[in-house]
Amino acid sequence: MRVSTGTANYRVTQFDTYAIRMENSATSIIDEPHTKSLTELINSSKILDQAELQWRISLVIMIPILAIIGLSLSQVNPRQGRFFKMFPAILLMIFYIAMLIWGRTSIEKGRIPTQFGLWWIHGVFTIIAAALFMQYNQIFTRRRKISAAPLNKS
């Protein structure tokens, strides 16, 4: 039977119930590190669980370090342009994340001990952030200028 558009030539079909029969399969326990809670990861001694725990903590630690790097590189001279230091900041951020991913993979494969973990990467980038902050932040140069200026007594 062919139905043409705009005509009343159609059939209505109704069902009491509509169901699909599914096979009963054995349930499997999901025991992957990214599905575990924080307390389970802390109490676990498995290498994969320790790598996941350090990864979760690293994402929180990374935020203030990148904020300091971004703040330090955001101050430019008027003749440099607004986006002069954006490229180095983006490169530092990508390198930081790439180092963390590499570190996590190395921990999972057993190349880096879990005690050493990802903390050394945060240490390196904290030192970079502190150096950039000291170099580019104008607060310290203003304090030096104010303290070096002679006091005018009126």
Domain positions in the chain: 35-142
Two tokens at 150? 């002679």
pLDDT exceeds 70 at position 144: no
pLDDT tens readout for residues 59-104? 999 999 999 998 888 877 777 777 777 888 899 999 999 999 999 9
Return the axis-axis angle of helices 86-109 and 119-136, rounded to nearest 10°. 170
Number of C-beta neighbours around residue 62 at 10 A: 18
Give the sign of the dihedral formed by CA 11, CA 17, CA 23, CA 25. positive
User: In the predicted model, what is the mean pLDDT of residues 104-112?
Assistant: 93
pLDDT exceeds 60 at position 154: no
